[in-house]
């Protein structure tokens, strides 16, 4: 094979560090962007916050200082007096030094922070249970078992692991450590003498002790156990408590189905008694752990907002989501082009990186604004009339109009939120698939879901609409959709089937 030289011309996109940084900033959410800016500020001395640049205060002249002293009634001579060596026994402080002005003493502090809210610690469910465990007298072995049980309780208050699965590693660890259980003082239980280890009954005894903690129903094995624990903590004189216990122990599935005929036949009780017992069960909490708030609320900060001004929808970026940055001019003036020293090279490299970072931020904001304006322009009917007027939209439509790549549109619409008069929505919300209409057009899946909500909300209580009936009603409005598609959309908005809706409405 003969070697030869060939000249070829072509275009290729190279992933330069500047392009990688711009893509990274483009796909960051507002919270991640704020964190990235803070890290860059710490790493690059050439960057600084624009808010930190404040005009220097003017020097106070001697005449102004004299006027302020005269207004306050104080003179330097009065405060420069030395305390006499001999003072009367009944001498007061005000006799030697003048009292402070009342206005300055009562002046409020400029920093009115609520330190309790700043330094408050959110209590989790496990912390709440461990606090009660520390107040409960127990032996060392029982306290070890109780701690293991509390660690296996989920946020809803149920025990994630079965008692047998908790007992096996505890018994194995005690036998490996050659711990004699009989040497440990136990409470309300006894350890098996047949073998050196932990008895299963000991774990059940400690579990029953924890189930008496607050909130009621904690550490339950299942829903029926949770309801029974709460019923046991009620007064025995509570009306219909015995019937409620019977329903929770044996017929909880029938209670969920609202099958009163079968409940009357199996329990032998009248329908009024069963309904009263079910009302008592409804007062209980099926998720006892939810009453302990274990986390702070997450608030969504919109990246852009849209308002209708003089008949036109105007999109503006939220300038508060990220601090304003600028280049430190004092350090920038120290950079010399011809100097190749170590310090000058460090300043020159950081100056270039600072300019790239500011350019990437500007490009991110410009792209976000362009995409938001394009989405608002295409979805004006949604802003005017609501979700039923949502138009089908895909990433390719916006990319074609803005002459950008679909991956860029995908990055800029992920975890970015738009504040509209109808609420705050993620930019991804405005993109949806479509269904053909009888007139040859297209209808958005978001609009179909809104129509289903409206139809189901207006359905008769005695005879709810089935999926087939809903599909027929949609076809009458010109939307060609199958029954399976209606069922898929109904399940996506968490609406039960017609039979479940009928049972629920009959029980109200």
pLDDT single digits (tens) 446-480:
888 889 988 988 888 778 888 898 989 988 888 88
Token pair listed for 357: 């970072």
Nearest CA to 21 among 3, 1, 39?
39
Q: What are phi and psi of 51, to 5 degrees?
A: -70, -20
SS3 266: helix
Q: Can you give the pLDDT at residue 332?
A: 87
Pair 279, 203 in one domain:
no
Q: Can you give the pLDDT at residue 180?
A: 47
Nearest CA to 370 among 412, 327, 336?
412
Pair 311, 409 in one domain:
yes
Pair 410, 490 in one domain:
no
**139 and 170 Cβ atoms separated by less than 8 Å:** no
d(CA 146, CA 161): 13
Pair 148, 260 in one domain:
no
**150 and 203 Cβ atoms separated by less than 8 Å:** no
Picking from 376, 403, 430, the residue at the C-terminal end of a domain is 430
Beta strand segments in 298-351, E: 304-309, 312-317, 325-327
Around Cβ 351, how many Cβ atoms within 10 Å? 20
- Asked if residue 23 is part of any domain, the answer here is no
Beta strand segments in 194-311, E: 304-309
Pair 420, 481 in one domain:
no
Pair 440, 426 in one domain:
no
**428 and 415 Cβ atoms separated by less than 8 Å:** no
Q: Can you give the pLDDT at residue 508?
A: 52
Q: Can you give the pLDDT at residue 134?
A: 93
Q: Can you give the pLDDT at residue 153?
A: 93
Picking from 395, 430, 465, the residue at the C-terminal end of a domain is 430
- Asked if residue 53 is part of any domain, the answer here is no
pTM: 0.61
Picking from 185, 210, 235, the residue at the C-terminal end of a domain is 210
Pair 358, 445 in one domain:
no
Those residues of the chain that have pLDDT short of 50 are 60, 65, 69, 74-80, 100-120, 179-195
Pair 199, 232 in one domain:
no
Domain limits at 274?
223-291
SS3 420: strand
Tally of structural domains, the chain: 4
Nearest CA to 446 among 492, 498, 497, 396?
492
**478 and 438 Cβ atoms separated by less than 8 Å:** yes
CATH code of residue 489: 1.10.10.60
d(CA 375, CA 393): 9
Q: Can you give the pLDDT at residue 337?
A: 74
Pair 262, 151 in one domain:
no
Q: Can you give the pLDDT at residue 158?
A: 93
Pair 442, 396 in one domain:
no
């Amino acid at each position: 094979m003969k070697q030869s030289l060939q000249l070829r011309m072509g275009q290729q996109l190279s992933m330069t560090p500047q392009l990688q940084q711009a893509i990274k900033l483009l796909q960051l959410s507002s919270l991640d962007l704020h964190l990235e800016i803070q890290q860059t500020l710490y790493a690059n001395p050439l960057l600084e916050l624009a808010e930190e640049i404040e005009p220097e205060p003017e020097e106070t002249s001697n005449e102004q200082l004299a006027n302020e002293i005269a207004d306050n009634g104080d003179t330097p001579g009065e405060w420069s007096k030395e305390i006499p060596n001999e003072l009367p026994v009944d001498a007061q402080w005000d006799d030697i030094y003048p009292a402070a002005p009342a206005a300055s003493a009562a002046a409020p502090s400029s920093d009115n922070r609520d330190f309790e809210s700043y330094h408050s610690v959110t209590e989790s469910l496990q912390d709440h249970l461990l606090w009660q465990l520390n107040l409960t007298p127990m032996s060392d072995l029982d306290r070890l078992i109780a701690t293991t049980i509390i660690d296996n309780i989920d946020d809803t208050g149920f025990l994630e692991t079965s008692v047998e699965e908790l007992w096996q590693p505890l018994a194995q660890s005690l036998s490996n450590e050659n711990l004699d259980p009989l040497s440990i003082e136990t409470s309300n239980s006894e350890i098996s003498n047949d073998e050196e280890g932990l008895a299963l009954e000991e774990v059940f005894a400690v579990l029953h002790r924890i189930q008496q903690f607050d909130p009621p129903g904690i550490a339950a094995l299942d829903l029926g156990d949770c309801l029974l624990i709460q019923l046991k903590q009620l007064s025995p004189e509570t009306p219909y408590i015995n019937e409620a216990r019977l329903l929770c122990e044996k017929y909880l599935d029938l209670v969920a189905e609202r099958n009163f005929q079968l409940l009357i036949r199996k329990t032998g009780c009248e329908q009024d008694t069963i309904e009263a017992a079910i009302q008592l069960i409804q007062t209980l909490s099926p998720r006892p752990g939810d009453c302990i708030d274990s986390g702070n609320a997450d608030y969504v900060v919109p990246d852009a907002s849209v308002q209708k001004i003089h008949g036109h929808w105007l999109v503006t970026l939220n300038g508060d989501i990220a601090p304003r940055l600028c280049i430190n001019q004092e350090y920038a003036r120290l950079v010399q082009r011809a100097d190749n020293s170590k310090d000058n090279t460090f300043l020159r490299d950081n100056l270039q990186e600072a300019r790239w970072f500011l350019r990437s931020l500007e490009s991110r904001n410009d792209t976000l604004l362009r995409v938001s304006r394009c989405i608002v322009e295409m979805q004006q009917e949604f802003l005017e009339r609501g979700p039923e007027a949502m138009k089908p939209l895909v990433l390719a439509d916006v990319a074609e109009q803005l002459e950008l790549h679909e991956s860029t549109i995908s990055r800029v619409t992920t975890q970015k939120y738009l504040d509209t008069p109808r609420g705050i929505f993620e930019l991804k919300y405005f993109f949806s698939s479509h269904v053909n209409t009888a007139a040859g057009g297209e209808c958005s899946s978001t609009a179909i879901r809104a129509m289903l909500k409206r139809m189901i909300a207006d359905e008769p209580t005695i005879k709810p609409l089935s999926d087939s009936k809903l599909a027929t009603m949609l076809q009458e409005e010109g939307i060609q959709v199958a029954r399976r598609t209606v069922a898929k959309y109904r399940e996506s908005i968490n609406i039960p089937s017609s039979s479940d809706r009928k049972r629920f409405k009959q029980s109200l």
